[in-house]
Amino acid sequence: GPEPAVTVAVVAGVSVLSIACPCAMGLATPTSIMVGTGRAADLGVLFRKGDALQALSGVSVVALDKTGTVTEGHPELTDLILAEGYTRADVLGPVASVEARSEHPIAQAIVRAAKREGAPTSEISEFTSITGYGVRAVVGGKTIAVGADRMMTREGVNCAQLVKAEAELARQGRTALFVAVDGNAAAVVGVADPVKLSSKAAIAALRQRGLHVVMITGDKQETAETIARETGIDQVIAEVLPEGKVTALQELSEQGKIAFVGDGINDAPALARADVGIAIGTGTDVAIESADVVLMSGDLRGVVNAFEVSNRTMANIRQNLGWAFGYNIALIPVAAGVLYPALGVLLSPMLAAGAMALSSVFVLSNALRLRYIAPVMKETT
């Protein structure tokens, strides 16, 4: 180099060190994640883990639980179809006595109906809850069993005379349960759980983003398909036991990364197994603790907002990293004096320091733009 060579070399070296300072690269990702998660919280979406924000942007399949997620989770008794030889009074009171011990929303619906009708309840004994099947207890010396058709099969009960009634209830989108008294089919109970007003719009928004929407439920296939047609769900996996939800997610994983949305105790294993578990905030504590993302309200539209924040944040991170690396790649050679032989241009250390500071300011300013992400769908509270 020209004289004084040592001075010119020191100036170039200081400029290179200033330009090469990795502040912008170090700030590019954490600032975007911090601002993105903060904005998500404002929108009612809590990312419990930073990596969930990144993982959600790569999801291609959204699996939904039915009760309490797609539907309101507050079912009501709509039908009580009796077998020959039984009256409503013979069935409703004893069934409500058994279901009063259960915390399932359907059980609570039967208990509420019995109270409205003034059906008397009795003391019970030998209560047994069989997860995924139903309940059984002794009421007034008679063994009462209530549950799905697989419960009746397990108990050896012949329900042939009530099968048509059960199938018709399923076609209407109602959850149907059989009642057996001392091993004999006594009635079939129909319970309706209305679809949340927000579900159809939220599912349509997810599909518009190119996501494959699946509903996983323990209900009958006919019931599940009716709900799916009403809400626009792409695929139904029905008649699944609680532990079967994890198996269903393993099969769906062949289609890509999965986000599972649920709210109940039996959803906890699936929330933990999914690439991203999303818990409805109005659900159980166990479900919330197992999830990576929590929706503060019970509104399914929060899932759409979670995807929006995730995608916008990841795009912001790419912008920041692109600027930071591009800035260093372009200016380090200039600071080293690559233009000096031809143009006599040598970057001043002061300008290099200023450029380095401006690069960090750019990254921070770009990340702060995430504060103004608008909700794709406003949640109801």
Asked if residue 213 lies in contact with residue 206, where contact means CB atoms within 8 angstroms, the answer is yes
Q: What are phi and psi of 214, to 5 degrees?
A: -125, 140
Cα–Cα distance for residue pair 244/241, rounded to 1 Å: 5
Instruction: Confirm if 175 and 193 have CB atoms less than 8 A apart.
Output: yes
Tokens of 203: 């599912």
Catalytic one among 42, 51, 65, 275? 65
285 is catalytic: no
Strands (DSSP E) contained in the chain are 45-47, 59-65, 76-82, 124-130, 134-139, 142-147, 175-181, 184-192, 212-216, 235-237, 257-262, 276-280, 293-295
User: In terms of residues, how long is the chain?
Assistant: 381
Q: Cis omega (within 30 of 0) on the bond before 4?
A: yes
From CA 376, how far away is CA 206, in angstroms rounded?
11
Catalytic sites, residue numbers: 65
